[in-house]
Amino acid sequence: VQSVHLLQVDSVQRWMRDLKLMTECE
Amino acid sequence: RAAQGRAYGNLGNTQYLLGNFSEATAFHKERLAIAKEFGDRAAERRAYSNLGNAHIFLGRFDVSAEYYKKTLQLSRQLKDQAVEAQACYSLGNTYTLLQDFERAIEYHLKHLQIAQELRDRVGEGRACWSLGNAYVSLGNHEQALNFAKKHLEISQEIGDCN
């Protein structure tokens, strides 16, 4: 139940979507 | 050797963008070792961020939290408030994934404080959004409502219809 709940945390989902394209460049 | 460090960093980033997170961590660890060898704290800080990010997608949220804490520590030493805010935001989200909502709130509040100091309304809006969700998870609906209202106000101000 908890993991289903977590998937509904929209602010975290949004952060992870942005994170996938975020790299600290040299 | 210095160029080798940069090459490792670039290889890590490329593997990351390809979705190869294990390979990315291997390259970023090499990058980290060379940054330490040279005493290059900015490069060390970048490696910690990249390692934290990659471990999120490996499902190792506990490992990410430790790397993000190193990022936070170095950002303070380097007096880089924007990076400090970003590290706090990452830690808040990571502790949400770890279901430690109290700690998530601590970091999101710190992120909010820095965003306000830097007059970063987008960051402030994201912090309020995150805090609203964290307080819902804790069952504190009154605080959740306060932050949801603040999030709405900022979203309207910056024209974020989403």
Q: Which chain B residue lies closest to A20 (C-alpha atoms)? A: B17
ipTM for the predicted complex comes to 0.93
User: Does A19 contact chain B (CB < 8 Å)?
Assistant: yes
Contacts of A19 in chain B (CB under 8 A): 53, 56, 90
Q: Which chain A residue lies closest to B127 (C-alpha atoms)? A: A11
Q: What is the pLDDT of residue A1?
A: 41
Contacts of B53 in chain A (CB under 8 A): 19, 22-23
In this predicted model, what pLDDT tens digit does every residue of B109-140 receive, in sequence order?
A: 999 999 999 999 999 999 999 999 999 999 99
In this predicted model, what pLDDT tens digit does every residue of B95-105 receive, in sequence order?
A: 999 999 999 99
Which residue, among B53, B70, B65, has the nearest Cα to B12 in the 3D structure? Answer: B53
Instruction: Note which residues in 8-37 of chain B have CB less than 8 A from chain A.
Output: 9-10, 13, 16-17
Residue B61 CA, chain-centre distance (Å), reads: 12
In this predicted model, what pLDDT tens digit does every residue of B49-65 receive, in sequence order?
A: 999 999 999 999 999 99
Residue B157 CA, chain-centre distance (Å), reads: 25
Residue B146 CA, chain-centre distance (Å), reads: 24
